[in-house]
């Protein structure tokens, strides 16, 4: 979002205000306050968008979904119930992006491997952590086995779709895309313990898939 020069002084008014105060102003039809928040948080939206991929869409489409999530956060934020606007905004941004991905894949019948990869960073492009790192039970010292796992990634992800329940798949997608247990619980309207249990089941099932792969897929 490009800022017009004549608005710079108006926008600078908000630099020393708390975000929660600016949100209240935006909710009271202060267009400059709304623009300031959208500009300020766009870098966060872009950061989250880097962690997602949707076939048939470019990065700007994902960013736009994130901006919609940000707008909804401003619209729905209740200072009496929530302490931090930033935390609420990050949840709304992530939720909007994931919802858009889920909707698009359902409509187009796109397989899981179009938007999730076992070998991609979980949180951002600079992260070294992948889903394979999460699966603590899978150990290998043979680089060739890791090479095979990449070659057979599509088959492994199809097997994941077969063995994971709808809840487990939703939890996995959300977790791989950087959401915390608390955020996933809020998004799915479940207790944090339920999310933890689901992810533990996912880990066990993925470990079994990888073990079977080593034994029979070669």
For 183, the token pair is 């955020």
CB distance 54 to 62 below 8 Å: yes
pLDDT of residue 203: 83
Model pLDDT, residue 37: 94
How far CA 118 is from CA of 69, 135, 176, 177, 193, in Å, comes to 26, 10, 9, 11, 24
d(CA 177, CA 121): 9
Residues 6+ apart with CB under 8 A from 200: none
Give tens-digit pLDDT for 83-130: 789 988 988 998 888 888 777 766 555 554 444 444 454 444 444 445
**Any idea how long the chain is?**
218
Tokens 């994931």, residue located: 98
Fold for the domain defined by 164-216: Arc Repressor Mutant, subunit A (1.10.10)
Domain layout of the chain by residue ranges? 1-109, 164-216
Task: Give pLDDT tens digits for 6-21.
Answer: 455 566 677 888 999 9
Give the model confidence (pLDDT) of 164-201 as tens digits. Answer: 888 888 888 787 777 788 888 988 889 999 999 998 89
CATH 3.40.50.970, applies to 1-109 = no
- pLDDT at residue 205 greater than cutoff 80: yes
- Read off the tokens for 181: 């247990």
User: pTM of the full predicted structure?
Assistant: 0.51
């Amino acid at each position: 979002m490009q800022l017009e020069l004549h608005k710079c002084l108006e926008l600078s008014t908000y630099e020393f205000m708390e975000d929660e105060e600016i949100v209240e102003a935006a909710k009271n039809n202060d267009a400059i306050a709304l623009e300031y928040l959208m500009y300020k948080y766009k870098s966060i939206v872009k950061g989250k968008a880097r962690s997602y991929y949707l076939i048939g869409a470019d990065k700007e489409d994902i960013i736009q979904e994130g901006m919609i999530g940000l707008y909804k956060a401003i619209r729905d934020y209740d200072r009496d119930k929530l302490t931090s606007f930033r935390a609420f905004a990050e949840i709304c941004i992530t939720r909007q992006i994931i919802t858009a991905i889920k909707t698009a894949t359902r409509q187009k019948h796109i397989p899981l491997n179009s938007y999730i990869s076992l070998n991609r960073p979980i949180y951002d492009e600079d992260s070294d952590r992948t889903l394979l790192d999460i699966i603590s039970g899978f150990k290998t010292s043979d680089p060739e086995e890791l090479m095979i796992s990449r070659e057979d990634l599509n088959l492994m992800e199809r097997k994941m779709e077969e063995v994971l329940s709808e809840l487990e798949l939703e939890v996995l997608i959300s977790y791989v895309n950087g959401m915390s247990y608390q955020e996933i619980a809020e998004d799915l309207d479940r207790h944090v313990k339920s999310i933890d249990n689901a992810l533990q089941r996912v880990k066990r099932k993925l470990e079994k898939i990888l073990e079977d792969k080593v034994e029979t897929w070669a």
